[in-house]
Structure 1
Amino acid sequence: MNIRKIIIADDESIQRNVLSSVVRKIVPPLTEIEICVNGKEAFEKISKGGTDLLITDIRMPVMDGMELISLVARDFPQIKIILISAYQEFEYAKSAISCGVSEYLVKPFRIEEVRRLLQKMDEEIGEQRQTTETQNQYENLLHQFEKDNQQKALAALLNGQKPPEELQAFNTNALNHPGITILIRWNIRVHSEIISGTFSAGSRQKSPALLSGLSDYQQERLIKRLHILFPNGFFVPQEKGMDVSECRIALLLPGCDTDDSVRFLNKLAEECSSEQLLFWAGISALQDNLLSRLPQSLQQAEEVLSYYFYYPAECGIFSYADMNELFEFPMISISGYETAIRKAVHTGLDSQLTKCLADLKKELLKDPLKYPIKVKHRISSMIVSIVRDLDGMITQQAYDELLNEAYHLYGGCSTFEQLFSISLELLKRSCAYFTQESGQYDAVEDIIAYVKKHYTEDISLSMLADRVHFSANYLSMQIKKKTGMSYVSYLTLLRTERACKLLVETDRKVADIGTECGYRDSSYFNRIFCRKFGLSPEQYRKVHKKC
């Protein structure tokens, strides 16, 4: 049914209750029905929105039906109206029909007449809604087209470029006033797998930051609230960077000052935090003429927004007017830490490098907080420099793989915690390579011994690589050097040798023997065994038990 909400207005309680009871029996259970005792109460409920049909009596106290009809026809012309009238009011009712009433219901009314009128109103409402939706679709498309052109023109201006000729018709007069630029950032939920900031060597995990991003519904709510807060602002979406979960939008706000925007956004942050809607905002200084200073204002907003780096778990509002002095503080010298960390890595002192990196992290968190871009650049450059010390010591493939992974991880790193988590793991892997190559500790022999002890368990190459901070490819090559076969072949050898022994020495079921040897799928165990020996496990048992 197309009718979603009906309002019945009648001051006579018996007639009102009977009519509402009849209507309730005709319409579906989900149709909302509200009862009013006069025209004033009815109009107040209609003003809240959502009403499709009004059924009203003529004679009522406070505000009668005729005044109600007049107000509804003026303010809500889409609402269908059924007027309740007595026979003696028929001529009166006919004049009301010319003023916007759709139909009339004569007292005393019959159930079939009520049903007929409701069906008629339902059809008309359906047709009206379909026509409106078609018109709205066209208007939305037109609006979106105009909006896209506007956003393209504004994006060009923000980047300090002249808009293409076909977009220069966009009226920029509104921006030719004092104002500010706000850059808003938030994360969305992304279901693809990426290497997280807290990665494990050779494995891929879903990033915790991505899992805690906003859902589509939450994102819509955030954007809607921003539109309500800044109804006269120009919203310009920004391109994504390496972090596929990150979304940014620039708000160009002529006529708005820094203090007001900070107050508005802090209030929004309080509301959103309770609903776990995290966002961060960078606010530029007030520009004398926003149009002529768009690139500069965007840069200021980006600079202060970068301090999100230190506060990824809570909403943050960063104002250039309050923070511009921070940019003047130089990056601290970390050469002493670099020397100590490099020495710990080269000598295989895993615990020492962990302590040195933790001390450096603590030093960088002291007030005043250092400019995030400088911190990220300096720390990542230091770690990559230490990784490069492995050049010529390990295979070219392992070296290239580790270096490329470092570049990829640092490129997608967006928080202080991620920066140090990535750095620690890269240093540990480098430390493992140095100790392996120097002969202080044979990590591959240790892994082979572990496999011999745990080959019946579910152990993957990537899991073993995690234990010694090697890449899976590098560990595989080292195992082949030691055993003369690939990891998979070596594991299969250990398992099938054990299976042969159990087949000959016991009468246990083949499926149970396969499970004990690490094969949870008996059919897979049979295929592997046949491929290895040219006999099925049962055939092998018969042949070798006769001997």
Structure 2
Amino acid sequence: MISREQSSFVIGFEASNGQEALGALEKETFDLVLCDVVMPVMDGIAFLREYRKRNLKAPVIMLSNFDEYDKVRQAFKLGARDYILKDSATGGSLLRLLEEYCRNREMPDETYNFQSLVREALDGYSSPPFSALSQYVQSRVSGSSFRLLYLDMPQKDLSGEKDLFNTMCEIFRDHIVFSAITTQHHGIVLVHTALPLERKELQAIFENLQKSFPHTCGVLSRALTSLSDFRAGCERLNQAAAYAIYRSPPLFFSEEEIPPSHPCEPFPKERFLSLVKEQDLAGARETLMSFWEQTAAGQAMEPAAFKRQLEDVLFQTIQELKPFFQESMAMTRLQIKLLKELDYAYSREQITGIVESLFEGVRRQLPFLSQKQGTAVRDVMRYIADHYREPVTLQDAAAALHLNYTYLSSCVTQNTGKSFIEHLNAVRIKEAKRLLKETEMTVGEISDAIGYRDQGYFGKVFKRLAGTTPLHYRNACQRGDEL
């Protein structure tokens, strides 16, 4: 395949069988081992098994005329760095491959050549790397399909590529794992499958994946007969992984399990917020949970869209309730906490937990709200009674009572059904009626006496509340008419 004249390598030792090769490898250090599968005394597979037991370090490349799936799988499982079919490898291509390995011999624990091709494909290079990727794989196996496994991995599950590769080899024990690459939060595994994956086998694989990576969700692609859409497949699986929020463990599933999107009922936002304003937490929770369960069961809504809706619901719920807290920081902290949890949520249980946390957080505050609100309303009514003769405002009352302006406004309106200014006007007009009936003060003098600096405005407020003008009211009182 390669003539000595072509090669720039120094051939350190030539062995006629595996047993002889092991003896030499234990005595000397070599950069690379090129091994045939068929050999007398000890064949290539037996050699690899013993080589692994002795923990020898030089990378091993297998050469063979066999393209039998079982031989290829065994070789990779036993630690072969490459498996080259003699019929598909020319002298030049084999020489380039050997030179590549020697250039990267300081990285003996990585399948450098294939990993670099995969990374180039993921980085978006055009057809040459994809072509190289396909050629590389197809020179080792033929007539079968591939699967991509996309992992959305939190830091606690993230491991090195070597550990990930070894774990995947154990889980996909009847198939060939070609590559396992990790990024900051993701893992991508390329698996060669000789036979279709049956439902029962898939379920066992997903359960084993969940045991090995308890905090991770992942999607297995549909069968690929070509690697030309490798990068597009990774992008597609990245989007598909978001559907884990609709699932209970195991959070690993196949791409075929994602149903096509279809129209779904919108969230009854107005009804929900109305229940929140009425502090009917049981009704509000039931409305939200019912919508969530229906959406999760049908997986009808694109996950990102659902999260946006839930973010809006969380935000508006807390905004509605925040004014009822004298110390609004408690609700602000709850808001930030839940929105952050929602951003990172990846399972059905987590979404349900966020909804429950929202209502539990509010429920814990409500007993204190009633007491605080009652005290605040009594204090503001006392303030109005003491200061209605002055040009007071709600801001003045809040400052005097050391209460939050928004909180005080909501307390008064929520508990009495009227605003601060409505209560103030009612007290002033009641006093105006008494003065019109019992004194000789002019309308202008009365307006000043009860806190109105604009007589025209006083007249409008009086007519709206009393149903007549101040002068007509005085005249009617003098005539003894009932008003």
Range into which the TM-score falls when normalised by the shorter chain: 0.3 to 0.5
Structure with more relative contact order (C-alpha pairs < 8 Å, separation 6 or more): 1
Larger Rg: 2
